[in-house]
Amino acid sequence: GALDVGVLAAAVRDVVARHEVLRTVYPEVDGVGFQRILPADRATLDIDVVQVDDAGLVGAVTEFVSGTFDVTREVPVRARIVELSDTEHVLVFVVHHIAGDGSSMGPLMRDLMVAYTAHTAGESPSWKPLPVQYADYAIWQRAVLGDEADPDSLISRQIDHWRTALSDVPAVLDLPTDRPRPAVQSFAGGRVDVSIAAETHRGLTRLAAQTNTTLFMVVHAAWAVLLSRLSGADDVTVGTPIAGRGEEALDDLIGQFVNTLVLRSRVDGGEAFTGLLRRTRESDLAAFANADVPFERLVEVLDPVRSTAHHPLFQVGLSFQNLDHGAFELPGLTLSGVDFEAGISQFDLHLIVADAYDENGEPLGLGGGLTFASALFDEATATAIVDRFTRVLDAIVSDPEVAVGDIDILDVSERAALGAAGAGRSVSVPAVTLPDLFAEQVGARGAATAVVTDDAVLTYAEFAARVYPLARYLISSGVGPDSRVVLAMPRSVELLVAMYAVAAAGGAYVPVDPDQPAERISHILGTADPVLVLATTAADVDGVSVGVPVVVVDDLDVSSYSSAPVVDSERVGALLPGHAAYVIFTSGSTGRPKGVAVPHSAVVNQLVWKRDAFGLGGSDAVLLKTAATFDLSVWEFWSATVSGGAVVLARAGGQQDPDYLLDLVRTHRVTTLHAVPSMLEALLAAEGGRLPSALSRVLAIGEELPAGLAQRVRAAGDLDLVNLYGPTEAAVSVTAHAVSEADAVSVPIGVPEWNVGVRVLDARLRPVPVGVAGELYLSGVQLARGYHGRADLTADRFVADLVGAGERMYRTGDLVRWVRGGSGVLELEYLGRTDFQVKLRGFRIELGEIEAALRAQHDVAQAIVTVHSDARAGDRLVAYVVPESGRAVDAATLTAAVARDLPNYMVPDAVVVLEALPLNVNGKVDRRALPAPVFEAVVFRAPTTPVEEIVASVFAEVLGVDRVGLD
Ligand code: AMP
Ligand code: MG
């Protein structure tokens, strides 16, 4: 029918007149939920009437709704009537939240109906004046809550409750977002629908009845389960509004009664849903019983981490709405609500659920929506979250006793996609060994260059003529499959010959660095249990307790042995692909290095994949500059010679001189460089951002490749840059990603290589969805046999494969997640470690090993080692030690002492002596509370001459310290 605009406007004005709160200005807002209010004398409200066509409607509404209110100067309401045609109108009524809440919709609509109906009949509304106004409530609320200074007041008791309930609550729930969190929360949002079937709704209601809980509690517990699974956190808070209208007299009032409650859940993946639900009931009831402290006040007293980037105390909301507003009817008119998308999300995510029932009270299903902050999430991600939530609800209905960590939040197609992404291409690589691959090249290209040093060049034939006689000597000494030879040699042709000879003899080589402390080498020797030790000079094993023959290769005359390739019949036993090719020792968290035994089949797969993936061939030269004690060197030692290329040797110690390395690359036209990112940084710095033109591929591995560095390397020449990832326990590298200009923010570690399986699993070994952090597990042919002589450590890390019966998986301790690249391909992104293993300038270090070395010293009772990062000075190792009671520890003496046990790169850069280690509430060491170290000379001597001053100031600048003294 026809709407009388004048009548509607009069009715709106009547409603505003009836509710004092709607014509109140707030000259002072104290920000804690109590307002000192001052009724404004504005009985008439301007009502704006605009005419637009259908297409203009959204614009007219958006414009009107988006405007702000200055509540200190104007009334907190405004109304507009939009005329679409003579017979179609939209009433837009905007109330600032200070004067109205969701539950005010009921009284607002009721009063509007009464007023409109009366005015249509030419009368005034016949309602009785309201018995109380919002101001009465505000005064009453203050009186009831009492004074915070009084410990027995309601507000004091409630604050006490929250102090306990929310103590140490995590500042942020880290959900897998599509984009990093901006520094300032934008509140721009979107919304996707939630629709839960009647069947599930019935099940949830039944579950609530059986467990003496409410539908709200069931939905809350389920939501906490999903949030925990998505964030990997076991401590999850959500915020929920509570109506705050306990008294009947408040039912007819418009006003801001709603409060926000913080609901905290500890989610334990092993607990049955019913267990979590029982605890949710307790904590929700306790929260509801302490619901009167205004949220704003709570934030002030609890003083959590405040940030413009996120909401305090919680970032995810849960609202339960009762849709029962009653019918809204006006005489002579047909009415319906206009859907309006405000484009706002108050929180990162806000689940809004409404339940509906038929006239017999039978569940009709749950409706509602999920609003999401569009700065963080895409709509598709929000939809996926709703789908997962639906699966959680279905799972708890069908089995309320299910362990919450076992609920499947993936659907069939996701599961299949993750499985496919995790399976490297299956390629049949010949079942051969390293000496087989080498012999093939010796036979095919004897005259080609195999080895280049500063002063010599060896062809394949010449190199082979040195390798095979030594191999035969080793066989005659008892070396063969399943035995080991320690190589205690600095980088040299002799080392290269010795390594190949050990392999040809069928043994596994065990590299040790002669520069490392004798104590550590002795331990490695004891564990490796070798047949013999090969050294360049006797000095290489000075002070080492050996127990087996030390053979000094320079003193050895092997000229009586044949230089033809060694064949299997000559060996002490047949060499099989499953035999170990090398044992590389790596830092061990329990205080001693552990030896990773890698079989030929694993290295061969890696080398053959690499040869194919990068097209390595006869024209390639590879730089050898990594110590043999790191598995990155396996590429450098072996990849050229299995593809017919040349290996260019940097002299011992030369790896520390970027200019020298770049010279080698230039002079010998090195095409392929393997490097840890920190080395790349040093090379770029030495060359002013350019790399020699011969270089056509750079393979980065070993630590996180920062996107900025990656782009600078790409720009440094006409070269391909690849980010590779892999632990020593899986033969150098297992995933690869070709870096492109698209990798501007982060560089993925990529996709699995040939015959490699990767999986990202949660703590209960369940695959995590795309975007969710999990631990990386590896399977396939590249796995090591385990830790030599340490069945216990091996069993801990090499666990039974979930899928392939009889197969094993290696648990990396690396935290990663699947990300979908631009082309839609799923790739892995590296996030960090789950433990105290670190990478420092490419060196793999277990902080626990350093701590054990410190604790083994006299007078040291406790020790903690951390990596201290400084933007300018870089990463440094800092040890915090507590002396035995009544004893003293001197930092310099302690450092010198541990330097006798640890390799250089593991010796702390600073030692801080503390009386006690800071502990957190759980009694564990609180690493964040450790004091920052001070790197300072004991006695400062000022530089005196101008030259000294300049040198000192350059050092100070590079080190990022205020001053540097003469010493
Ligand atoms: P290592 O056994 O010395 O090769 O060290 C293996 C560890 O280095 C892995 O477990 C990772 O923590 C780290 N790592 C190796 N490659 C990468 C990479 N590309 N990005 C980030 N971390 C890496
Ligand atoms: Mg490695």
pLDDT at 298: 93
Whether the predicted pLDDT of 217 surpasses 60: yes
For tokens 């000022």, name the residue. Answer: 942
Residue 75 has pLDDT above 90, yes or no: no
Which residue's C-alpha comes closest to atom 15 of ligand 1? 702
Of 338-342, 442-446, 480-484, 808-812, least confident by mean pLDDT is 338-342
245 lines ligand 1 (CB under 6 A): no
Burial class of residue 440 in the structure, from the number of CB atoms within 10 Å of its CB (0-12 exposed, 13-18 middle, 19+ buried): middle
Q: Which ligand is nearest to the CA of 833?
A: 1
Query: How does residue 334 score in pLDDT terms, banded at 50, 70 and 90?
Result: confident
Asked if residue 486 lies in contact with residue 512, where contact means CB atoms within 8 angstroms, the answer is yes
> Could you tell me the distance, in angstroms and rounded to a whole number, from the CA of residue 935 to the centre of ligand 1?
29
Res 40 pLDDT > 70:
no
Mean per-residue pLDDT, 32-57: 70
Q: How far apart are CA 871 and CA 506, in angstroms?
A: 48
- State in Å: Cα 749 to ligand 1 middle: 10
Rounded distance from Cα 726 to ligand 1 centre (Å): 5
Residue 58 clears pLDDT 60, i.e. is over it:
yes
The protein residue whose alpha carbon is closest to atom 3 in ligand 1 is 844
Residue 327 confidence (pLDDT) above 60: yes
Instruction: Write down the pLDDT at residue 325.
Output: 55
557 by Cβ neighbours in 10 Å (0-12 / 13-18 / 19+) ranks as exposed
Sign of the torsion formed by the C-alpha atoms of 660, 662, 668 and 673? positive
Kindly report the number of other CB atoms within 10 A of residue 919's CB atom. Answer: 11
Q: Which of the two residues, 331 and 813, has the higher pLDDT score?
A: 813
Query: Mind listing the pLDDT tens digit for each residue in 340-391?
Result: 777 888 899 999 999 989 999 899 999 999 999 999 999 999 999 999 999 9
How many helical (H) and strand (E) elements, i.e. helices and strands, does the chain have?
Answer: 24, 37
Compute the average pLDDT of residues 432-454: 97
Q: Which helix (H) or strand (E) holds 236?
A: strand 235-242
Nearest bound ligand to the CA of residue 709: 1
pLDDT of residue 39: 56
Cα–Cα separations (whole angstroms), residue 871 to 145, 370, 681, 940: 49, 40, 15, 24
Q: Pick the atom of ligand 1 nearest to 596's CA.
A: 2
- Pocket flag, ligand 1, residue 749 (CB < 6 Å): yes
Q: Is the CB of 231 under 6 A from ligand 1?
A: no
Residue 33 pLDDT? 45
Span from the CA of 504 to the centroid of ligand 1 (angstroms): 29
pLDDT tens-place string over residues 843-856: 999 999 999 999 99
Tens-digit pLDDT profile for residues 886-897: 999 999 999 999
| Long-range Cβ contacts of 233-236 (<8 Å, 24+ apart) | 233/170, 233/173, 233/174, 233/267, 234/266, 234/267, 234/268, 234/269, 235/169, 235/170, 235/264, 235/265, 235/266, 235/267, 236/173, 236/264, 236/265, 236/266, 236/267
Ligand nearest to the CA of 797: 1
**Atom 7 of ligand 1, residue of closest alpha carbon:** 727
User: Lowest-pLDDT range, 54-58, 238-242, 501-505?
Assistant: 54-58
How far, in Å, CA of 15 to CA of 21, rounded? 11
Mutate to test the pocket of ligand 1, among 709, 839, 843 (most ligand atoms within 8 A of CB): 839
The verdict on the CB of residue 811 being under 6 Å from ligand 1 is: no
For ligand 2, the distance from its centroid to the CA atom of residue 581, given in whole angstroms, is 16
Please give the Cα distance from 466 to 458 (Å, whole number). Answer: 10
| Ligand 1 neighbourhood includes 237 CB (under 6 angstroms) | no
pLDDT band at residue 31 under the 50/70/90 scheme: very low
Nearest-CA residue for atom 19 of ligand 1: 725
Residue 373: CA atoms inside 13 Å, Cβ hemisphere, count?
24
Give the closest ligand to the alpha carbon of residue 705: 1
Distance, CA of 383 to chain centre: 22
Ligand 1: residue whose CA is nearest its atom 12: 814
The least confident of 59-68, 432-441, 698-707 is: 59-68
Least confident interval from 15-29, 155-169, 406-420: 15-29
How many angstroms separate the alpha carbon of residue 702 from the centre of ligand 1?
4
Ligand 1 centroid – CA 728 distance (Å): 8
Atom of ligand 1 nearest to the CA of 700: 19
- pLDDT at residue 713, rounded to an integer: 97
Going by C-alpha positions, the residue among 632, 685, 678 that lies closest to residue 662 is 685
Average pLDDT over residues 185-195: 93
User: What residue owns the CA closest to ligand 1's atom 1?
Assistant: 727
Cα 128 to middle of ligand 2, angstroms: 81
Cβ of 641 less than 6 Å from ligand 1: no
Ligand 1 in reach of 725 Cβ (< 6 A): yes
Classify residue 155 as exposed, middle or buried by CB count within 10 Å of its CB (0-12, 13-18, 19+): buried
Which ligand is in closest contact with the Cα of 707? 1
Cβ of 842 closer than 6 Å to ligand 1, yes or no, is no
The least confident of 314-318, 548-552, 936-940 is 936-940
User: What is the whole-number distance in angstroms between the Cα of residue 812 and the centre of ligand 1?
Assistant: 9
Query: In Å, how far from its chain's centre is CA 878?
Result: 24
Retrieve residue 312's tokens. 């305090």
By CB atoms closer than 10 A (0-12, 13-18, 19+), residue 613 is middle
How far, in Å, is the centroid of ligand 1 from the Cα of 727? 6
- Lowest-confidence pick of 214-223, 665-674, 935-944: 935-944
589, 797, 811, 830, best to mutate for ligand 1 pocket (most atoms within 8 Å of CB): 830
Q: Name which residue sits closest to atom 20 of ligand 1, judged by CA.
A: 704
Using a 6 Å cutoff on CB, does residue 216 contact ligand 1? no
Closest residue CA from atom 8 of ligand 1: 702
Residue 516 CA to residue 761 CA, distance in Å, equals: 37
* pLDDT tens readout for residues 125-171: 989 989 899 888 888 888 999 999 999 999 999 999 999 999 989 99
Crossing angle between the packed helical segments 460-476 and 434-444, to the nearest 10 degrees: 140
Q: How confident is the model at residue 326 (pLDDT cuts 50, 70, 90)?
A: low
Which residue among 737, 811, 814 is best mutated to probe the pocket of ligand 1, counting the most ligand atoms within 8 A of its Cβ?
A: 814
Tokens of 316: 């995810």
Distance CA(505)–CA(497), nearest Å, equals 12
Closest CA to 634 of 500, 472, 460, 490: 500
Give ∠ CA 793-796-799 in degrees, rounded to 5.
130
For 938, list phi and psi in degrees, rounded to 5.
-65, -50
* Confidence at residue 783, expressed as pLDDT on a 0 to 100 scale: 98
Question: Considering the chain, what percentage of its residues have pLDDT values greater than 90?
Answer: 74
pLDDT computed for residue 170 by the predictor: 93
Q: How far is the CA of 172 from the centre of ligand 1 (A)?
A: 28
- Quick one: average pLDDT of 69-91? 88
pTM above 0.85, yes or no: yes
CB within 8 A of 946, min separation 6: which ones?
A: none
Of the ranges 86-95, 475-484, 538-547, 951-960, the best mean pLDDT one: 475-484
Kindly give the interhelix angle for 134-145 and 154-165, rounded to the nearest 10 degrees.
70
**CB under 8 A, 24+ apart: contacts of 149-152:** none
Kindly state if the Cβ of 728 falls inside 6 Å of ligand 1: yes
- Ligand 1 neighbourhood includes 701 CB (under 6 angstroms): yes
The whole-angstrom separation of Cα 675 and Cα 659 is 15
> Which residue would you say has higher pLDDT here, 591 or 631?
631
Q: Is the CB of 481 under 6 A from ligand 1?
A: no
Q: What is the CA radius of gyration of the chain?
A: 36
Q: SS3 of 533, please?
A: strand
Q: What's the chain's average pLDDT? A: 92
Cα 26 to middle of ligand 2, angstroms: 65
Please report which residue ranges of 630-732 form alpha helices under DSSP H: 632-638, 658-667, 677-686, 707-715
- DSSP 8-state class, residue 293: S
Which listed ligand is nearest to 725 at the C-alpha? Answer: 1
- The pLDDT assigned to 521 comes to 94
Beta-carbon contacts of residue 727 (< 8 Å; ≥ 6 apart): 734, 778, 810, 812, 814
Whether the pLDDT of residue 328 is over 80: the answer is no
Contact present, 580 and 507 (Cβ < 8 Å): no
Q: Which residues are paired to 646 by β-bridges?
A: 621
CA of 732 to the centre of ligand 2 (A): 5
Instruction: Say which ligand is closest to the CA of 835.
Output: 1
Q: Closest by alpha carbon to 606, among 724, 498, 739?
A: 724
Centre of ligand 1 from the C-alpha of residue 941, in Å: 42
Q: What is the mean pLDDT of residues 492-506?
A: 98
> What mean pLDDT comes out for the span 630-656?
96
pLDDT of residue 305: 79
Question: Which tokens is 52 given?
Answer: 């637009």
Mind giving me the DSSP string for 567-618?
-GGGSSS---TTSEEEEEEE--TTSS-EEEEEEHHHHHHHHHHHHHHHT--T
Residue 941 CB coordination number (10 Å): 10
pLDDT score recorded for residue 32: 42
SS3 18: helix
Helix, strand, coil % in the chain, rounded to nearest 5: 35, 25, 45
41: pLDDT strictly greater than 90: no
Is 946 within 8 Å of 957 (Cβ atoms)? Answer: no
DSSP state of 153: S
What is the rounded average pLDDT of the residues 800-814? 88
Q: How far apart are the C-alpha atoms of 400 and 209, rounded to whole Å?
A: 13
Is 80 exceeded by the pLDDT of residue 322?
Answer: no
Question: 839 in ligand 1 pocket by Cβ < 6 Å?
Answer: yes
Is the shortest distance between the CB of 20 and ligand 1 below 6 Å?
Answer: no
The β-bridge partners of 237 are 264
For range 506-528, the mean pLDDT: 94
